[in-house]
Every structure is written in C-alpha cells, then in structure tokens.
Amino acid sequence: MSAVPTGRFAPSPTGDLHLGNLRTALLAWLWSRHDHGGFLVRMEDLDRVTSSREHEDRQLRDLAAIGLDWDAPPVRQSERFDLYADALADLSARQLVYRCYCSRREIAEAASAPHGRPGRYPGTCRNLSARERTNRERSGRPAALRLRADATSVSVDDLILGHVCDVADDVVLCRNDGVPAYQLAVVVDDASQGVEVVVRGDDLAPSTPAQVILQRLLGLPTPAYAHVPLVVSERGTRLAKRDGAVTLADRVRAGDTPLDVVTWLLRSSGQPTPATDDRTVSLNDLINDAAGVFDHSAIPRIPIVLTDGELGRPLPR
C-alpha cells in the first residue's frame, strides 16, 4: 500500500441513499481523509433496468450535502464493459470459468438442502458431462458464467471483523443476459482505480473470498478491507424505505438538518461529536475535525438499530 491510501464509495444508483448507506460513505471518506488519502465515488450501475441517472444525481447531491468530496468525476461501470470483457476472456482462456444454466429457484432449493449453504452456489453445473451440457444448451436456457473457485479457502485480515477465513464461492462473473456481474466488475475497478482501502457494509463480507481469488487469478493487488456493521430497523432487517424517514430528504422533513444527520452518523460510529448545544459549528468543520481524530477502532462491531419511534422524530443528538 502506498503512504497515501485511496478509498472509495461505490453505490448502486437504484434509489436514494438511506442513513446506512450515508454512514458507510462517511466512514469510507473519514478512513481515507484521516490519512490524507484519496477518495473516489464509483457508480455501480451494471443493472440498466434498476439504475438511473436521476438516482445517480440524487445520490451525489446527498453525499455532497453531508460534506463529502471526491477527487475525480465518478466513473460508471456501465461505461467500462470492455475492461470486464478483457478480464473475463483472460479467465476463460485459462479454463477458470464455466457455463451455469441454473435458475435462481434451483439454486435456492439446492442451497437449502441438508448439506447446502444458503447464499452459496451448490455446484450443480460445475462438472457437467459433455452430454449434460448439450442437453441444457438444447433446452434453450441461457447460461451465466461462473468462476471455478475450486472451493479455495481464503484468509482476510479485515480491519473491522478481524481475521476471517472462508471458502470462495463460484460467483457469477457474467449474467445470463450477457451483462458483466458485480463480483468481476468490482475487482477490475478497484484495481484499475488504485483503490487500496475498501470500506463497505458487512453484508458484502461473504463476497470477499471470491474477490480475493479473482484478484490473485488476474494478477491484481488485494486492497485492505473494512466491513462496517449495517444500520438496521427494529425488526433487525437492513434499513429500507419502508422503515420510514430514512433518506436525507426524509430526515430534513422530519426536522433534522444535514449537520444533525452527520452528528448522528458520527456518534453512531463511536466518533467524537461537538456538544449538543453548540450550534455554531459548520458541516465542513464537523467532518474535517472528525477526519483529523478518526479512530476506526471505536466503530461499534454490532449493527446500529434505529427504532420506528426514533425514525419518526428528529434523530437523537
């Protein structure tokens, strides 16, 4: 890693950012800026059906509204398909990719069987005979392309989760409609953008072993990883629009200023905040001071719960 690490926030522009996304973005920014490092925003807009420029603009506006800045115009994954195609061709040429004909339902059913592991590919198409493959091709079902990860065990020293050892999944590299998949794109992009510290939600921690395998196979560096706990509703589910006033615009309607929101984001992340009655502090001072004293060891290791009651009134200061 260079002396000045580069970090990033990589949202999917499929809706407005909620408090959990904003908290992850702020932590990623603080992590880099504390060390006077670079910071980038990348739009993970591979899914053209759910992504939109309007969401992208609104997300960037909200990130700027909580005081974040980035060093270069955000890149869009939808404009980088050539890079992903090159990486895929490289892996395919080395027989590290196989065709998978399974539907989501078949995968879910196999993964919930006694020896299956939910969320994991059960390996159905990994070693098909030539005849089985021909039969599937004839059925007309389009194939996705999966990584032949060979159940390799990967250890990661996560800066939040600590030492994690898990088996890499045979993740999808190209969807069955020909669109490159997140797991491939994220690895190619983090390397090509020189990202050295990946701070993201801990729901993505299970993806890390496959991403590390991909980095090794493609001869790319492995960044440092910090998976931060999510903000959840009182039902224990990841915060979502249905939980109430969760976006910045919602919070402003509920009586909070962006400064109140950032104060809550910092407090919920174990970082020092100004006295609650100090109304003179500006948003820029608040986050620049926070970057100066940022201490990642103080980030709580458990999810932050926002109850329906808390979401219905101004955030606790």
Q: Which residues are catalytic?
A: 241
In 3D, which of 156, 126, 308 has the Cα closest to residue 232?
308
Residue 230 Cα distances to 8, 227, 238, angstroms: 17, 9, 7
Q: Which is nearer to ligand GLU, 123 or 194 (CB)?
A: 194
Q: Segment contacting ligand GLU (CB under 6 A): 9-17, 233-241, 258-266, 277-285? A: 9-17
Determine if 269 is a binding residue for ligand GLU (CB under 6 A): no
Site for ligand GLU in 58-97 (CB under 6 A): none
Q: Candidates 6, 12, 263, 273: give the one binding ligand GLU (CB under 6 A).
A: 12
DSSP code string of 267-285: HHTT-----TT-----HHH
- Cβ 114 to ligand GLU, closest distance in Å? 31
Determine if 32 is a binding residue for ligand GLU (CB under 6 A): no
- Cβ 281 to ligand GLU, closest distance in Å? 30
In 3D, which of 91, 54, 40, 19 has the Cα closest to residue 198?
40
Q: Segment contacting ligand GLU (CB under 6 A): 4-12, 56-64, 97-105, 160-168? A: 4-12
Q: Is 292 exposed, middle or buried (0-12, 13-18, 19+ CB in 10 A)?
A: exposed
Q: Give the CA angle between residues 236, 240, 245 to the nearest 5°.
A: 105
Beta bridge partners of 191: none
Site string for ligand GLU, 156-195 (x = CB under 6 A): ------------------------------x---------
Q: What is the CA radius of gyration of the chain?
A: 21
Q: Which is nearer to ligand GLU, 16 or 44 (CB)?
A: 44
- Cβ 205 to ligand GLU, closest distance in Å? 10
- Cβ 63 to ligand GLU, closest distance in Å? 13
Give 256's contacts (C-beta < 8 A, 6+ positions apart): 264, 314, 315
In 3D, which of 316, 288, 286 has the Cα closest to residue 304?
316
Q: Segment contacting ligand GLU (CB under 6 A): 6-14, 89-97, 114-122, 225-233? A: 6-14
Q: Segment contacting ligand GLU (CB under 6 A): 8-16, 220-228, 251-259, 269-277? A: 8-16
Q: Are 272 and 236 in contact (CB under 8 A)?
A: no
Determine if 291 is a binding residue for ligand GLU (CB under 6 A): no
- Cβ 84 to ligand GLU, closest distance in Å? 15
| Measured distance CA(199)–CA(185) in Å, rounded | 17
Determine if 10 is a binding residue for ligand GLU (CB under 6 A): yes
Q: Candidates 11, 67, 122, 229: give the one binding ligand GLU (CB under 6 A).
A: 11
Give 268's contacts (C-beta < 8 A, 6+ positions apart): 23, 231, 300, 304
Q: How many residues bind ligand GLU (CB under 6 A)?
A: 7
Q: Candidates 19, 31, 37, 44: give the one binding ligand GLU (CB under 6 A).
A: 44
Determine if 204 is a binding residue for ligand GLU (CB under 6 A): yes
CA atoms within 13 A on the CB side of 248: 23
Determine if 110 is a binding residue for ligand GLU (CB under 6 A): no
The contact set with ligand GLU (CB under 6 A) reads 10-12, 44, 186, 200, 204
